[in-house]
Amino acid sequence: MQKVISTDKAPSAIGPYSQAIEINNMVYTSGVIPVIPATGEIAEGGVEAQAEQAFQNLCNLVEVSGSKVENIVKTTVFIKEMNDFGKINEIYKKYFKEPFPARSCVEVARLPKDVLLEVEAIAWK
């Protein structure tokens, strides 16, 4: 049986989807963007600030599900500019420790609200 995960500690859905779904003790998040949940504004300060906000939002969402960041086994990071890969990796390492989750990182032409990155995850409970 699936359970919808929802929190005000991460950006609300801006379309017909759930923030996350739990099924069979696994949590699957939707893409999370660097929106400040309290204000609805996009984090200012370039890709580093947006990465901090997006990863914090993702961690909040996973923790509200009853899981924890250490249980994330896979992430996908969508970035607007592959030249920001190194900067994003530095922020990523603040939130994820070894053994790091499996990860895909792809450059995309455009993201919702014209943000610089979006991240999604799969975690176990």
> What positions carry a catalytic annotation?
105
Closest listed residue to residue 74, CA positions, set 110, 120, 40: 120
Q: Give the distance, in angstroms, between the CA of residue 47 and the centroid of all CA atoms in the same chain.
A: 14
Helix, coil or strand: residue 28:
strand
Cβ contact 35:117 at 8 Å: no
Helix, coil or strand: residue 36:
coil
